[in-house]
């Protein structure tokens, strides 16, 4: 499908033709443009040419797996990436997020759940919830987040974040060291919170910790058991 007449376009990476066609047709009926991947040996270039706003990405693919391609996409883009896979093990979901994914849907899936997740991530990334603080840069204890550029910086070092990582850090920075409850974070990051496994938040917090560790801020995200998370000054 061409994307010229659609507000948002999805890059669908699924090597099973019937499922790809079924999913593309459904998303198209929901008013979304869909580009179905065809060059499984060159997905990074095909994604770049697509100018897509979101990626639906299978794990088991020809040539290289979805984890590899997610890492490749992350070198050039911060668009939301939702994994769709028959792998139901938690370790695969953890690997998906660690490799740059924003969400995970297990096959066989309910099409309405997939649609809800796609729309939620598009709203968070580009719609009415995007950068809703009205501030371009958020700061606390020397850590700075550029909300629009999706970059975090500390003492001259800078890293590029995924949109989910940036949204999570944004919420913690807004709290200025106060504890942010898990339910509040779930509601803030995933509009359709009923479709989100609580473990998804835990994994994303773990990933954010690792990313901040690249800035020398190991231990900067504190867990308050049974309540939520907060940012602490400096590193532990």
pTM: 0.65
In a domain, 131, yes or no: no
Residues 5 and 81: their CA atoms lie apart, in Å, by 22
The answer to whether 81 touches 100, Cβ cutoff 8 Å, is: yes
**Model confidence pLDDT, tens digit, residues 100-138:** 898 899 888 888 989 999 998 888 777 655 544 445 778
What range defines the domain where residue 88 resides?
9-126
Hey, what are 96's tokens?
A: 């998906």
Residues 77 and 103: their CA atoms lie apart, in Å, by 16
12 contact partners, CB below 8 Å, separation of at least 6: 20, 23, 24, 27, 34, 35, 36, 37, 55, 56
In a domain, 79, yes or no: yes
Hey, what are 114's tokens?
A: 């997939």
Q: What is the CATH number of the domain that holds 108?
A: 3.40.50.2300
Alpha carbon dihedral 139, 143, 144, 145, in 10-degree steps, equals: -100
Query: Among the three residues 126, 153, 185, which one is the final residue of a domain in this structure?
Result: 126
**Model confidence pLDDT, tens digit, residues 203-233:** 888 889 998 999 999 889 999 988 999 998 6
């Amino acid at each position: 499908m061409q994307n010229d007449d659609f507000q948002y376009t999805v890059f669908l990476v699924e090597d099973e033709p019937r499922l790809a066609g079924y999913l593309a047709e459904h998303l198209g009926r929901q008013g979304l443009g869909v580009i179905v991947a065809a060059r499984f040996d060159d997905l990074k270039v095909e994604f770049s040419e697509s100018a897509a706003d979101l990626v639906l990405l299978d794990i088991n693919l020809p040539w290289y797996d979805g984890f590899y391609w997610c890492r490749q996409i992350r070198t050039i883009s911060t668009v939301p990436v939702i994994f769709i896979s028959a792998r139901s093990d938690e370790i695969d979901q953890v690997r998906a997020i660690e490799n740059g994914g924003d969400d995970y849907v297990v096959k066989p899936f309910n099409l309405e759940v997939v649609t809800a997740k796609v729309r939620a991530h598009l709203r968070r990334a580009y719609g009415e919830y995007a950068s809703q603080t009205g501030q371009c840069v958020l700061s606390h204890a020397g850590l700075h987040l550029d909300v629009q550029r999706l970059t975090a910086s500390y003492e001259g070092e800078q890293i590029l974040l995924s949109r989910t990582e940036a949204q999570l850090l944004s919420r913690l920075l807004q709290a200025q060291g106060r504890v942010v409850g898990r339910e509040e974070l779930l509601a803030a990051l995933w509009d359709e919170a009923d479709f989100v496994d609580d473990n998804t938040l835990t994994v994303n917090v773990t990933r954010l910790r690792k990313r901040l560790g690249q800035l020398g801020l190991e231990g900067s995200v504190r867990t308050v058991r049974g309540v939520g998370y907060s940012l602490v000054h400096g590193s532990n």
